[in-house]
Structure 1
Amino acid sequence: MATGDNIRRYRKAKGLTQAQLADAVGLTEGAIRHYESGIRAVKPELLEKIAKALKVSVGALKDYGVETSQDLMALLLQLEEGYGLVPSEDGMGLAIDPKAQHAPKLAQSIKSWAEKRAEFERGELDEDAYADWKASF
C-alpha cells in the first residue's frame, strides 16, 4: 500500500478527519489531502509527526513497494543476509539462521507476533486491538 493510502487508513481507523490530523501535525487540510491522494510525497520528518499523531509506527505508514509475489520474494531475499531469514527445509515456511547479525532481534519480533496472533485467534484480542498492535510495531 502506498504511504498516502496508509495514512488515510489509519486516520479513518482513529476516527479523525483530514482537518483534525492536519491540526495535530501543524499542516493544512489540503496538505493532508495531497499526501493521502499521492499528489505530494511525505518527507521523512513529517511522516514521523503524522505517525505520532496517529499513534502508529512510522513503519506502518511506509510503502515498501510490495505489489506482487515477485516483489515480496525480492524483499525476502534481501532479508536473508542481515537477518538470516531463510526458507525452511520443507520449503513451506521461513526459518531464521541464528548466525546472522540481526537474527536475535528478528526472532524476538516474530515470537511477539506469534503470541499476539494466538491471542487474536483465541478471541482474547478483537480485530481492532490486533490491528492496533500491528500498527504500533
Structure 2
Amino acid sequence: MATGDNIRRHRKAKGFTQAQLADAVGLTEGAIRHYESGIRAVKPELLEKIAKALGVSEGALKDYGVETSRDLMALLLQLEEGYGLVPSEDGTGLTVDPGAPHAPKLAQSIKTWAEKRAELERGELDGAAYADWKASI
C-alpha cells in the first residue's frame, strides 16, 4: 500500500480530518491532501512527524513496494540472508534459521505477533486494538 494510502487509513482510523492532521504537524490541509493522493512524496523527516501525530510507527506509513505476489517473493528472498527467513520443508509456511545475524529478534517479533493473533482469535483483543498494535510496529 502506498504511503499516502497508509496516511489516509491511519488518519481516518484516528478520527482526524485532513485539516486536523495538518495542524498537528504544521502543514496546510492541501499538503496533506497531496501526500494522501500521491501527488507529492513525503520526505523522511516529515513522515516521522506525521507518524507521531497519528500515534503510529513510521513503518506503518511506509510503502514497501509490495503490490504483487512476485514483489512479496522478492522481499522474502531479501530477508533470507540477514534474518534467516526460509520456507518450511512442506512449502506452506516460513521458519527462521537461528544462525542468521538478526534471527533472534525476528523470532521474538514473530512470537509476539502469534500471541497477539491468538488473543484476537480468543476474543481477548478486539479488531481495533489489534490494528493499533500492528500500527505501533
- TM, length-normalised to structure 1: 0.99
Paired position in structure 2 for 1:135? 135
Cα distance in 1 for partners of 2:124, 2:24 equals 32
Which consecutive aligned stretches of 4+ in structure 1 deviate over 3 angstroms post-superposition? none
Give the deviation of 1:62 after TM superposition: 0.3
Rounded to whole Å, the distance in 2 between the matches of 1:24 and 1:84 is 40
Aligned to 1:53: 53
2:70 is aligned to 70
Q: Secondary structure at the match of 1:78?
A: helix
- In the alignment, residue 11 of structure 1 is paired with which amino acid? R
Residue 107 (structure 2) pairs with residue 114 (structure 1)? no
Report SS of the residue matched to 1:49.
helix
**Normalised by the size of structure 2, how large is the TM-score?**
0.99
1:97 maps to what in 2? 97
In structure 2, runs of 5+ residues without a counterpart are none
Task: Measure, in 1, the Cα distance between the counterparts of 2:91 and 2:10.
Answer: 35
Percent identical among aligned pairs is 89
1:13 aligned partner, one-letter code: A
User: 1:42-97, CA deviations, whole angstroms, 9 ceiling, x for partnerless residues?
Assistant: 00000000000000000000000100000000000000000000001111100000
Structure 2 CA distance for aligned equivalents of residues 9 and 35 of structure 1: 12
Which letter does structure 2 place at the counterpart of 1:93?
G
Query: What RMSD, in angstroms, separates the aligned Cα atoms of the two structures?
Result: 0.4
The aligned counterpart of 1:23 is: 23
